[in-house]
């Protein structure tokens, strides 16, 4: 059996402002943008080079959902954006106005810095540490 997470829904106020942030500030690509009727859309985004999990933009449809915008994980880091070049992506994101909550740091699992999306959801920009080669 093979399974994979295809998408993670992120609550947004407005499709247009969310698409602009994710494409301009984070450099994501629009994978699909389909009208579903009654103002609803199926909007899938992905970082460049990604072949797995997507971000599904889900416009809040009621007050309860609207209150959760930007706090889907209760203030904790919600999503993890992996990179193969931390310095490149950190610099590009800062230049495009992305708000980082901290300076980059080295952890046992890799180089990481927390940033916020336009609604305040916390993300990790993470370059995972390469596993050590096996001992001879």
**pLDDT band at 39; cut points 50, 70, 90:** confident
Structure tokens at 78: 């919600």
Quickly tell me which residue has 């992996």 as its tokens: 82
Residue 58's nearest CA partner among 121, 125, 126 is: 121
Tell whether the model's pLDDT for residue 136 goes beyond 80.
no
Is the pLDDT reported for residue 122 higher than 90? yes
pLDDT at 135: 66
How far, in Å, CA of 26 to CA of 98, rounded? 8
DSSP state of 129: P
Of the candidates 29, 13, 41, the residue with the CA atom closest to the CA atom of residue 119 = 13
Instruction: Report domain extents, the chain.
Output: 7-128
136 vs 65 pLDDT, higher one = 65
Mean predicted lDDT score pLDDT of the chain: 93
Name the CATH code of domain 7-128 (choices 2.130.10.30, 3.10.150.10, 3.10.180.10, 3.30.300.130).
Answer: 3.10.180.10
Print the SS3 string covering 65-94.
HHHHCCCCCCCCEEEEEECCCHHHHHHHHH
DSSP state string for 52-64: S-EEEEEE--SHH
* Residue 133 pLDDT class (50, 70, 90 cuts): low
């Amino acid at each position: 059996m093979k399974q994979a997470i295809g998408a993670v829904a992120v609550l947004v106020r407005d499709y247009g402002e969310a698409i602009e942030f994710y494409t301009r500030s984070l450099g994501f690509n629009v994978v699909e943008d389909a009208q579903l009727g009654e103002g609803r859309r199926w909007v899938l985004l992905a970082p460049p080079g990604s072949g797995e999990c997507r971000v599904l933009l889900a416009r809040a449809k009621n007050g309860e959902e609207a209150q959760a915008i930007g706090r889907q994980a209760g203030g904790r880091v919600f999503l993890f954006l992996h990179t193969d070049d931390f310095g490149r992506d950190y610099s590009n994101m800062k230049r495009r106005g992305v708000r980082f909550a901290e300076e980059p740091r080295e952890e046992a699992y890799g180089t990481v810095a927390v940033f916020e999306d336009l609604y305040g959801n916390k993300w990790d920009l993470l370059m995972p540490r390469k596993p050590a080669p096996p001992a001879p």
